[in-house]
Structures are given as C-alpha cells and as structure tokens.
C-alpha cells in the first residue's frame, strides 16, 4: 500500500474527498455514513484508497469501514456506472409489470440486472420497494424518481415524485398534494410550538398522553409514555430522532409528508425536544429518498432563520444507504453512530439507552406530524377524531389494483370497504367492469393478508387486532382476482432474505430458507414437506428472532397459509395454473384461453429471466461482497 | 449482599442473586440450557437464539443467556415452542454449513431430534480455505457466525480490529479490509480468535497440516525451509 499512498496522482485524487469530508471529521465514527455518501458523490464508488482515507480521517478501523460499506446496498466497493437505474420489483410495482420494465431496460442497455455497461455509463439494479407504490411501476433514476413508467406509450414522469392525497379529512395532509413544498411562509408560525413553550414540559407530555397518540411506524407504542420515560431518564444530552427510514414495502406516506410539509415534522420534533429536554435531533431518511434531502435542508434552514431551531435544539439529517433493517429503532441508532445496522438487544430501551447510549425519543414521521395538531387543538378536541380506543387521523397507503392509489387520510374507524370504495375498487361494489377483490396486504411485507371477508372490519387498532390483522405502517395493498398470490409471496420471501441483517440465526437462515421454499411454490415445484418446513421456519423466526424484522418476516406468509391452504398443496409438481384457475369460471377460461396461453408463455419467460437475473445477481453480489461464492465455483 | 429473587424453572423453585441470567439460574438447579454463541470471555449478543426459553406472560421466547431472572418468573426451558425453535435452528445450521468439527452442535442435534437433511436444495455457505499466514487457516465453510472472533479482535480483548463482516443476511461472512490477506491487516497473530472459534473454522496451521497428513518433522522443515530461502 505504501507505494500507492505516496503516488502524487493519488493524493491529487484524494484532495476533493478531503475537503468534502472535512465537516464530518468532528463527528468521528458517526460521520462515517455521511463521509461514504460524500465519497460516492465524487467517485461514484468507494475504492480501497478512498475507504482508507476515510478510515484515517474519522479514526475508524479499516475493517470496520469495509464492514459498513458491505452492509449497505447503496454503497459500492467496486466500479459502477455513472448513471444508476434502480427498478423496483416489489409487490406493488410487480402488479404493474416491473419485471417487464426491468427486462426491457436491461435489454436496451445490453446488460443484466446488477451489471454495468462496458462503457461504465449505466448500472441497472432490481431494487426493493422504493416507496413510490401509488405511481407504479417506479424507478429511482440517479437521485430522481421516475414513476408511472409505461412501456407501451413510452410515457413516464421524472423528477420530484407527485404526492397524491385523498380521503375524508385533511389534518395531517392539510398542506400536502399541491405539487410543492410548503414553505415556512405558507406553513405559518409554529403556533403549536409557541403554545407548548408556554406550558411546562410535563404538561406537554400529559397532553400527548391524554391524546391517546400511539406510534404510526408499525409498533403502535403510546407516544406520551415514550416521551415520559425519556424525560425522566437520567443522562444527557437527550435526543429526538425522527424515523424517516420508511422502507416497509407498500408504505409511502412519510415521503409525502416530508416532501410537501416538512415544517410539520420539524415542529413536532421541536415540541418533543422541549418536552423531554433534548438538545439535538436527527432525521434519518432512507437512502432511496435522496430527493427529499434538499427539501428538508431548506426547511431546516428556514426554521433556523426563524429561530425555531437554535443553539438549544437543532436538527441534523442523516441519509441511510439501502437497509430496511435501519427502520428498526436500535439499528437506526447504530447506523447514525456509523456502524452496520445491527439491531440491539432490548432492554435497555431507547428511552434510557438510545443513540450514543443516551436517552432518546424516536418517533415515526407521521407520529410527529400528529403532535402539533394535538398541542394546538388540545387533546380533548383531538380525541373527537377517530374512535375512543384509536383516536386521531390516520394515513393509509393504498396501492395495487385500485383506480385511485394514493395516501388516504381518514379518521380511525372507517371500514376497509369504505376505504376501497374511495379508492375505486376493485370489486367491493361488484361493478361489472371491475375485477373482483382477491386480497389485501395489510401493514406491508411485515403484515398479513386480508380477504373480502374482512371488508367490513373497521380500520382501528382494536378492530384490526381482533381480526388478526396488523395496522402496521398503514399499508393497504390491493390484489384483484387475476393475481397470482404465490408470486407475491415469493417476492415477500426475496425481500426479507435481502433485508435480513444476518445477526440472529432464526432470521439470518430462516429468511433464506423461507425464500427458497416460496420460490419453489411459485414455480410449481413444491416438495413433500415444504408446508411443514415453511411453518417451522416461520414460527421459529416469529418466536425466536432478535428484532421486529425477523419476528414479522413470516407474518404475511403464515397468514396466507391460513387463508389459502390450497396454494400450498401442489406437492408432486402439479402445475400451478391448475390450482390458480380452480377458482375461476370455466367459460371465462375458454374465452381467454388463447390470450392466457400466450400470457402463460410470456410469464414463464419472465420467470426464467427472473431466475436468471437472480442468479446473476447472486453472482455479482458474491463478487462484490466476497470472494466466497466465486471461490466455491472454481 | 445483593438482593435475591425467587422464580421457578420447569416447575422447580430457585432463588438467585438479582442480576443473574436465566441460564445461570437454571444451572444452579441442574437444568442445562444449550448455547452456541455464548462464551464467558465475550460480550453476549444473544444472536444464536438456541438458548431461548418460554417465560410466562412474554409473547416471544426469551434468550436465557442475557435475560435476567426476576421475582416470580415462570420459565419453561423445554416447551413445545422452545423445542421447535431449537430443532429448526439446528436444522437450518446443518443445511447451511459444515458442522463436522463442531461436536457440541452435533450432539445437540441428536438431543433435539434435528434432521440434518431437513432442507432440500438449500443454498450452503461454502468457501475455499484461506491459508494466508503462518499461524492459522480460515475455513469459512465451517463458520456459523457466532461473532466471537470479531469480538475478541475488537473491544472484547485485543483492540486490533483486523476482521469484520462482509455482506449481510445469509450472505454474511467474516472478512478483512477489501479482503486483504491476514499479514496485510492489523492482525497481530495473537490467536485469540482461534481460541474462541467453536467449529474449527479457525484452526492453528500446524493442526491443519497434521490433518492433511504431514508429519511433524515435515512441518518443521517447511518452516526452517522458509527461513533458509530468505537468506
């Protein structure tokens, strides 16, 4: 290495890096992710001398820097293309032929997924959910969102993604859906913060407690109790963290809130900071939302100029780098600290041992957006919205087979039928021109499936719990009768195998085995005993995993096993279409036979292509991540 | 004198000092809870989850290596859920890596009725042996990711941080900075990683060569031979 280090060309090449990472030097290890992002902005990827320079500058061991690069899928330690095309292939986009889009783009550039063109101009990757589900199929093109891509017409939208907002009320989304970011001038004064500052911190906490607000990120923990615990915890400084690592497949509400109304989030954080005595805040935004960064930075500087953020409390943005697990609160802390996003063992909980080991309140974006509402209205008036046990407004992310996908703001208590009718089907009214409803994925990949029998379930925490459905992060992904649920399950399986951090055994190996079995089922190649294997693996992950990811990685699959046992019964290699078509009318079959056989062929081709892509991907990953796989092939 | 807490484990009452883990509490009454990643010299990360037990009132199984005994706790160390989790974890391990030199785990598999062939067509973590330094070899086909080597290399003992993780999830593997050979890293050949490895993934080079059929005198000749070539 010494000869490399002294080469004058190298030091010239490292000069822009040194000045780019200078602001992060005081952060030490915590500056690692920002520094790696900065390096990638300059060089496109992170080479060995660049990683070594960062390690030296931030005083992080070399192996640890490498370990961090290896953990996050948006960091590259091998050369990649100048332009990055990431095609979402998760459920919502898959319903809009994301596979076809990916294949088309690959063919167009003459490469396979996870490959770079020879001239290093383009790299194409299949991506986990990009949070653009209501505008599927979607691509992240460089740092821009490319949505509603239509191969037939050649049309697409590029740039800042649209915010599509519907519903019965507009409280959280009052400033959303206008096509622009609400500036501080338009947002107005932080009225709720001003009101809170006239109250005692414990009065603010009590107001939040009596509002009945619970977390909107998925875990539904009472927000006031969290704040109280952190306020009373010994240790300083204290932190407020906004979890904007929105990565649950099918979830996109936080993207809309942050892009259209960032001041509401900032005001919520400032109120939380006052209530618990925090001096510092972080907004951790998922790496797949790079276009939110400038919007947030601008809003923060507006808030600073207006004096809402000051030396008593200020906020720093952190950008993730492609790791669903970092939405888990303790993994998110580790990531802010510049480490691999491994979830920690709990207890201790964030209230006493959060980021940097200090008492921390961590809340989801939507949760924080409720706070200004609660303080300015007062908890009593706030509780008039929704039901007694689930007070307040709720955002649902409706995607899939509906006419009007988007963010729906409703009071807790509307039924699934009402929500779907607002979104225009499918099917709840059995209108002749619409397909029938087959299933709804509730709460995201970590959620569970509902069927038409659940249409009259009220969307509240208590009613959903009674129906065995998780509210999760508010995902309502709709599948009509045409859909192959096994394909959807296989995508779930792939998602969790891709996103498992690898720390605890049940999830590390269980997500892999689950994916393998689900792939067999989707391919109509189920083996004897696969259903039992799937359930043993599923329950072991659910019961014994270390964190919420593993504990819910089988949740949707196990719900499908209960709802549709017939999907898991083709041991002996029966063709899957036989089973699938069992539910459909025979004359319908005859009518569309020609079309179907064509479609079937096309599908088989896509699936072949998909499998090939997966293989290639595995190969490339192996090449990138270690020499292990290639070595074993030799 | 620390406070003591009373609990029952598999129906047997036991009193232990507060702060005692369920694993240690169980040992006091002769109940053996299996462990894989746990080691007295390293920080417990509760990651293998083989030590999970069922605690009344808890939705999820609890790792006995770190969960502390509490007053009136009711613990089941062999409930059906516990047995399913342990058996499945062991079966997944067997389908993933080479356990031939992990006798403790092989015994555990017998004890829990785990079927090594449970998962057909399962992707295995295979790797070529890395023989890149005079002191030890690395055979990551045998690595079950207990993390102990990484821990002793870092804050649990040696503070040299020569190794960390490559990849993530099922694809995780212990690795060095840009996959450099051991002599090119900060490794000081202290050997502590070899000492804590439970599966023979890390092995003294001499032991490895003896297993390959070399005789002790051949090995010593090999070593002196190297020195001679240098002159």
Domains for chain B: give ranges and CATH numbers.
4-78 (3.10.20.740), 136-230 (3.30.70.20)
Q: What part of A 438-497 touches B (C-beta under 8 Å)?
A: 497
Give chain B's radius of gyration (CA, Å).
21
So what's the pLDDT on residue A433? 53
Mean pLDDT over B105-112 rounds to 98
Residues of chain A in contact with residue B146, where contact means CB-CB under 8 angstroms, are: none
Measured in angstroms, the CA of A181 and the nearest CA of chain B are apart by 36
CB contact under 8 A, A65 and B169: no
Q: Say if residue A563's pLDDT is above 70.
A: yes
Residues of chain A in contact with residue B121, where contact means CB-CB under 8 angstroms, are: 516, 520, 527
Q: Which residue of A has its CA nearest to B153?
A: A63
Q: Say if residue A589's pLDDT is above 50.
A: no
Measured in angstroms, the CA of B161 and the nearest CA of chain A are apart by 6
Q: Which band of pLDDT confidence, cut at 50, 70 and 90, is reported for residue A7?
A: low
Which tokens hold the place of A608? Answer: 């072949």
Mean pLDDT over B74-79 rounds to 98
Measured in angstroms, the CA of B85 and the nearest CA of chain A are apart by 5
Helix (H) or strand (E) holding B107: helix B103-111
Closest by Cα among B29, B23, B28 to B68: B23
Query: In sequence order, what are the beta bridge partners of A315?
Result: A281
Q: Which band of pLDDT confidence, cut at 50, 70 and 90, is reported for residue A604?
A: very low
- Same fold across A393-480 and A485-584: no
Q: Say if residue A532's pLDDT is above 80.
A: yes
CA gap A503, B147 in Å, rounded: 9
Residue B123: which of A51, A345, A516 has the nearest Cβ?
A516
Q: Which band of pLDDT confidence, cut at 50, 70 and 90, is reported for residue B53?
A: very high
**Rounded mean pLDDT of chain A?**
90
Domain A393-480 CATH (choose: 3.30.360.10, 3.60.70.12, 3.30.565.10, 3.10.20.600): 3.10.20.600
Length of chain B: 231
Q: Which residue of B has its CA nearest to A512?
A: B170
- Which of the 8 DSSP states describes residue A415? B
Which CATH number describes the domain made up of A165-382?
3.40.50.11540
- Which of the 8 DSSP states describes residue A346? S
Mean pLDDT over B60-78 rounds to 98
Query: In sequence order, what are the beta bridge partners of A241?
Result: A282, A362
Mean pLDDT over A165-175 rounds to 97
CA gap A580, A6 in Å, rounded: 65
Q: Where are the alpha helices (DSSP H) in A2-156?
A: 2-6, 8-21, 32-43, 48-58, 62-71, 91-94, 98-109
So what's the pLDDT on residue A6? 54
Regarding predicted confidence, which is higher, A108 or A628?
Answer: A108
Q: Say if residue A584's pLDDT is above 60.
A: no
CA gap A518, A531 in Å, rounded: 10
DSSP character string of A205-266: HHHHHHHT-B-SSSS--BHHHHHHHHHHS--SS-EEEEEE---STT--HHHHHHHH-HHHHH
Kindly report, residue by residue over A234-284, the tens digit of the pLDDT.
Answer: 999 999 999 999 999 999 999 999 999 999 999 999 999 999 999 999 999
- The percent of residues in chain A predicted with pLDDT above 70, rounded, is 87
Side-chain half-sphere exposure of A7, counting CA atoms within 13 A = 9
Q: Which band of pLDDT confidence, cut at 50, 70 and 90, is reported for residue A624?
A: very low
Residues of chain A in contact with residue B163, where contact means CB-CB under 8 angstroms, are: 63
Q: Which band of pLDDT confidence, cut at 50, 70 and 90, is reported for residue B2?
A: low
CB contact under 8 A, B119 and A65: no
Which residue's entry shows tokens 């379930």?
Answer: A457
So what's the pLDDT on residue B224? 43
CB contact under 8 A, B169 and A510: no
Measured in angstroms, the CA of A527 and the nearest CA of chain B are apart by 9
Measured in angstroms, the CA of A493 and the nearest CA of chain B are apart by 13
Q: Say if residue A138's pLDDT is above 90.
A: yes
Measured in angstroms, the CA of B28 and the nearest CA of chain A are apart by 24
Q: Say if residue B28's pLDDT is above 90.
A: yes
CB contact under 8 A, B169 and A533: no
Which range, of A243-252, A369-378, A467-476, A597-606, averages the lowest pLDDT?
A597-606
CB contact under 8 A, B47 and A503: yes
> Where do the structural domains in chain A lie, given as residue ranges?
13-71, 165-382, 393-480, 485-584
CA gap A121, A109 in Å, rounded: 10
**Rounded mean pLDDT of chain B?**
94
Tell me the pTM. Answer: 0.91
Q: Which residue of A has its CA nearest to B92?
A: A509
Residues of chain B in contact with residue A71, where contact means CB-CB under 8 angstroms, are: 165, 168
Residues 6+ apart with CB under 8 A from A366: A172, A216, A217, A253, A254, A257, A395, A474
Residues of chain B in contact with residue A621, where contact means CB-CB under 8 angstroms, are: 167, 171
Mean pLDDT over A519-543 rounds to 97
Check residue B19 and give left, alpha or beta (phi > 0: left; psi -120 to 50: alpha). Answer: left
CA gap A460, B219 in Å, rounded: 72
CB contact under 8 A, A502 and B172: yes
Domain A485-584 CATH (choose: 3.40.50.1970, 2.160.10.10, 1.20.1440.230, 2.130.10.10): 1.20.1440.230
Mean pLDDT over A498-527 rounds to 97
Q: Say if residue A521's pLDDT is above 60.
A: yes
Q: Which residue of B has its CA nearest to A630?
A: B127
So what's the pLDDT on residue A124? 98
Q: Say if residue A615's pLDDT is above 80.
A: no
So what's the pLDDT on residue A622? 40
Q: How many CB atoms lie within 10 A of CB B217?
A: 8
């Amino acid at each position: 290495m010494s000869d490399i280090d002294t080469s004058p060309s190298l030091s010239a090449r490292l000069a822009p890096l040194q000045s780019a990472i200078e602001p992060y030097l005081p952060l030490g290890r915590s500056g690692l992710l920002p520094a790696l992002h900065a390096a990638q902005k300059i060089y496109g990827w992170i080479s060995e001398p660049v990683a070594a320079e960062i390690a030296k500058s931030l005083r992080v061991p070399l192996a640890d820097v490498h370990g961090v690069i290896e953990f996050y899928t948006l960091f590259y330690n091998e050369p990649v293309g100048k332009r990055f095309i990431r095609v979402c292939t998760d459920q919502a986009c898959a319903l809009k032929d994301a596979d076809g889009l990916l294949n088309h783009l690959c063919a167009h550039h003459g490469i396979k997924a996870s490959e770079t063109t020879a001239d290093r101009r383009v790299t194409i990757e299949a991506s986990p959910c990009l949070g653009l589900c209501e505008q599927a199929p979607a691509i992240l093109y460089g740092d821009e969102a490319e949505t509603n891509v239509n191969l037939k017409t050649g049309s697409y939208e590029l740039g800042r993604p649209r915010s599509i907002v519907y519903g019965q009320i507009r409280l959280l989304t009052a400033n959303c859906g206008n096509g622009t970011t609400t500036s501080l001038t338009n947002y107005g004064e932080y009225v709720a913060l001003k009101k809170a500052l006239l109250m005692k911190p414990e009065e603010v906490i009590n107001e939040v407690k009596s509002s009945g607000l619970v977390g909107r990120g998925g875990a539904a923990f009472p927000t006031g109790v969290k704040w109280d615990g952190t306020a009373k915890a010994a240790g300083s400084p204290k932190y407020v963290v906004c979890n904007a690592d929105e990565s649950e497949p099918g979830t996109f509400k936080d993207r809309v809130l942050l892009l259209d109304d960032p001041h509401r989030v900032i005001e919520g954080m400032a109120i939380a900071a006052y209530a618990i005595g925090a001096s510092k805040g972080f907004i951790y935004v998922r790496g797949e939302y790079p276009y939110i960064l400038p919007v947030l930075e601008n809003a923060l500087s507006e808030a600073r100029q207006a004096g809402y953020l000051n030396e008593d409390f200020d906020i720093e943005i952190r950008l993730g780098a492609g790791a669903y697990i970092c939405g888990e609160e303790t993994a998110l802390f580790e990531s802010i600290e510049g480490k691999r996003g491994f979830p920690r063992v709990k207890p201790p909980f964030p209230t006493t041992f959060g980021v940097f080991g200090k008492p921390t309140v961590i809340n989801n974006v939507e949760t924080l957006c409720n706070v200004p509402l609660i303080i300015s209205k007062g908890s009593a008036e706030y509780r008039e919205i929704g039901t007694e046990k689930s007070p307040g407004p709720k955002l649902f992310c409706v995607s899939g087979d509906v006419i009007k996908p988007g963010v729906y703001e409703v009071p807790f208590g509307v039924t699934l039928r009402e929500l779907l009718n607002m979104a225009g089907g499918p099917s709840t009214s059995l209108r002749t021109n619409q397909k029938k409803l087959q299933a709804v994925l509730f709460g995201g990949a970590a959620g569970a499936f509902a069927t038409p029998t659940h249409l009259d379930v009220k969307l509240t925490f208590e009613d959903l719990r009674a129906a065995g459905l998780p509210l999760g992060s508010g995902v309502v992904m709709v599948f009509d009768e045409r859909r192959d649920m096994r394909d959807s399950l296989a995508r779930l399986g792939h998602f969790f195998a891709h996103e498992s951090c690898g720390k605890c055994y049940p999830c590390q190996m269980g997500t892999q085995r689950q994916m393998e079995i689900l792939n067999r089922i989707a391919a109509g190649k189920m083996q004897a005993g696969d259903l039992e294997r799937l359930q043993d693996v599923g329950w072991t992950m659910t019961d014994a995993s270390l964190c919420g990811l593993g504990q819910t990685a089988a949740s949707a699959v196990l719900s499908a096993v209960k709802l549709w046992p017939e999907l898991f019964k083709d041991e002996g290699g029966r063709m899957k279409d036989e089973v699938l078509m069992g539910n459909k009318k025979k004359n319908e079959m005859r009518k569309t036979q020609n079309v179907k056989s064509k479609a079937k062929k096309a599908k088989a081709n896509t699936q072949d292509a998909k499998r090939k892509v997966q293989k290639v991907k595995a190969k490339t990953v192996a090449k990138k991540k270690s020499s292990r796989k290639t070595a074993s092939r030799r | 004198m620390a406070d003591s807490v009373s609990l029952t484990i598999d129906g047997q009452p036991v009193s232990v000092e507060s702060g005692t883990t369920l694993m240690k509490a169980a040992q006091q009454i002769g109940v053996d809870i299996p462990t894989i990643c746990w080691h007295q010299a390293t920080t417990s990360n509760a990651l293998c989850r083989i030590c999970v037990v069922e605690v009344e009132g808890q939705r999820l199984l609890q790792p006995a290596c770190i969960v502390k005994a509490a007053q009136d706790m009711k613990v089941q160390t062999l409930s059906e859920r516990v047995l399913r989790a342990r058996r499945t974890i062991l079966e997944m391990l067997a389908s993933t890596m080479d356990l031939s030199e992990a006798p403790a785990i092989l015994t555990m598999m017998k004890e829990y009725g785990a079927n090594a062939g449970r998962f057909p067509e399962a992707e295995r973590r295979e790797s070529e042996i890395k023989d890149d330094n005079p002191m030890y070899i690395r055979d990551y086909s045998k690595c079950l990711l207990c993390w102990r080597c990484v821990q002793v290399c870092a804050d649990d003992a040696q503070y040299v941080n020569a190794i960390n993780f490559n990849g993530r999830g099922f694809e995780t593997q212990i690795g060095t900075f840009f996959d450099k050979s051991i002599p090119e890293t900060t490794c000081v050949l202290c050997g502590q990683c070899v000492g804590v490895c439970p599966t023979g993934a890390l092995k003294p080079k001499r032991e490895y060569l003896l297993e390959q059929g070399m005789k002790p005198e051949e090995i010593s000749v090999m070593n002196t031979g190297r020195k001679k070539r240098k002159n």
